[in-house]
């Protein structure tokens, strides 16, 4: 399938592709090592440790869905203390994607897995007391290692979709160009520059931290090209790339993920607490009756159905047997700390606004009404869930 050529007049093209050198030069190498560098400058450390706003009236902090990425925990702790100076009770557990990390005696991870009954990828938040992750956790750690490696392979599928003219890849490019209005110049520009990135990644694979092998590597690479090609060209390219990424994620094979039931069984054997995140994704999971402690009913990416989901959890609790534990209501800030390390002009505004422990829905009057009926509030969840983990 050949990409439909843009009818845009030459004078309206946003980038002259003929002037884009496909050969890797020293500037390209310098850019590559910048985007895989996890060391922080003093300016970045100050930016991370200093919150943009302070919330002195919030006395409870519940944060069980957030991602440290490459940011040191001591800087994150400084930021959280500064954000919530009057905190009295807290439960803060990091949930890196497919990698266990710890904070003040608790450990957590967000796991990609497969729900066979609904034929879709789902994610689970697992939380533990840190001391339980001894040799008994070797099987779970091996499962996570496999999942981390497989999940990272999506980056290569993403790069191939941008640059590879194979038939099914070309269809993805066609759709992305049509949906975003990208002309042939943007399509070719993205292909050439992504080709450079892929070559650099392959040539420097041993030096590349595995935490950097993610889809966002492409976005970060193009952001560093702004000075050379201008904001307008890069913004148009990023819109186009985001659409391709969406298609790659939708088409990513699920057969190499562990089943959700397998992950839950292994986690429960270690005394884990389990929460299903991302309310926009778990609609079918509500019917699966998985052995979990609760559902995330609010997330910065999905706020529309919070009141309804609280009602669903409440209805489930009213019908539970006398010996079963009630489902708990959680809210996820889904903060990615790596975003805070970027220069403000290069941050994704939507992600940059997310803050550890900041979930405004707890204080929304309409939502609080439903929470009261359900007997849920932030303080109760902190105490109840911490008790379960103990």
Structure tokens at 245: 């990424």
pLDDT in tens, 272-312: 999 999 876 766 666 677 899 999 999 998 777 899 889 98
Mean of pLDDT values over 82-93: 97
Cα(126)–Cα(268) distance, integer angstroms: 9
Cα(380)–Cα(306) distance, integer angstroms: 18
Q: Are 297 and 278 in contact (CB under 8 A)?
A: no
Mean of pLDDT values over 67-87: 97
Pairing relation of β-strands 120-129 and 273-276? antiparallel
Q: Please return the burial class of 87, using the count of CB atoms within 10 Å of its CB with bins 0-12, 13-18 and 19+.
A: middle
Mean of pLDDT values over 368-385: 94
Mean of pLDDT values over 240-258: 92
Indicate whether 377 pLDDT > 80.
Answer: yes
Indicate whether 49 pLDDT > 90.
Answer: yes
Mean of pLDDT values over 205-226: 93
Mean of pLDDT values over 198-223: 94
Structure tokens at 69: 């990425």
Task: Write down the pTM of the prediction.
Answer: 0.89
pLDDT at 323: 74
Mean pLDDT of the chain: 90
pLDDT at 361: 94
Cα(118)–Cα(116) distance, integer angstroms: 5
pLDDT at 6: 41
pLDDT in tens, 130-183: 999 988 899 999 999 999 999 999 999 999 999 976 766 788 888 899 999 999
Of the listed ranges 73-77, 236-240, 311-315, the least confidently predicted one is 311-315
Pairing relation of β-strands 106-115 and 335-336? unpaired
pLDDT at 284: 64
Tally of helices (H runs) and strands (E runs) in the chain: 15, 10
pLDDT in tens, 314-336: 998 988 777 789 999 999 999 99
Mean of pLDDT values over 240-246: 95
Mean of pLDDT values over 232-236: 94
pLDDT at 13: 59
Confidence category of residue 7, pLDDT binned at 50, 70, 90: very low
């Amino acid at each position: 399938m050949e990409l439909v050529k843009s009818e845009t007049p030459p004078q309206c093209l946003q980038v002259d592709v003929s002037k884009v050198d496909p050969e890797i030069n020293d500037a390209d190498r310098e850019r590559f090592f910048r985007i895989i560098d996890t060391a922080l400058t003093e300016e970045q450390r100050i930016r991370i440790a200093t919150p943009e706003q302070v919330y002195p009236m919030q006395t409870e902090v519940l944060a069980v869905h957030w991602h440290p990425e490459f940011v040191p925990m001591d800087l994150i702790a400084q930021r959280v203390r500064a954000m919530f100076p009057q905190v009295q009770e807290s439960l803060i557990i990091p949930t890196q994607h497919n990698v266990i990390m710890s904070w003040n005696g608790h450990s957590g991870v967000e796991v990609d897995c497969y729900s066979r009954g609904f034929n879709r990828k789902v994610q689970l938040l697992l939380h533990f007391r840190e001391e339980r992750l001894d040799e008994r956790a070797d099987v779970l750690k091996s499962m996570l290692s496999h999942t981390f490696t497989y999940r990272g392979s999506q980056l290569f599928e993403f790069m191939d979709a941008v640059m590879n003219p194979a038939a099914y890849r070309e269809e993805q490019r066609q759709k992305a160009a049509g949906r975003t209005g990208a002309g042939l110049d943007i399509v070719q520009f993205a292909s050439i520059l992504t080709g450079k990135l892929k070559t650099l990644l392959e040539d420097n694979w041993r030096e590349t931290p595995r935490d950097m092998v993610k889809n966002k590597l492409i976005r970060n690479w193009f952001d560093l090209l702004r000075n050379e090609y201008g904001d307008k060209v890069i913004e148009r390219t990023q819109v186009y790339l985001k659409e391709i990424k969406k298609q790659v994620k939708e088409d990513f094979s699920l057969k190499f993920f562990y089943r959700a039931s397998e992950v839950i069984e292994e986690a429960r054997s270690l005394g884990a607490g389990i929460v299903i995140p991302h309310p926009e994704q778990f609609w079918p999971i509500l019917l699966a009756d998985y052995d979990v402690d609760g559902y995330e009913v609010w997330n910065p990416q999905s706020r529309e159905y919070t009141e309804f989901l609280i009602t669903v959890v409440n209805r489930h609790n009213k019908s539970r047997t006398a010996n079963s534990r009630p489902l708990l209501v959680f809210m996820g800030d889904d903060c990615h700390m790596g975003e805070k390390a970027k220069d403000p002009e290069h941050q994704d505004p939507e992600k940059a606004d997310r803050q550890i422990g900041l979930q405004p829905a707890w204080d929304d009057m309409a939502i609080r009404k439903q929470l009261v009926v359900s007997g849920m509030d932030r303080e109760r969840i902190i105490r109840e869930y911490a008790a379960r983990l103990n």
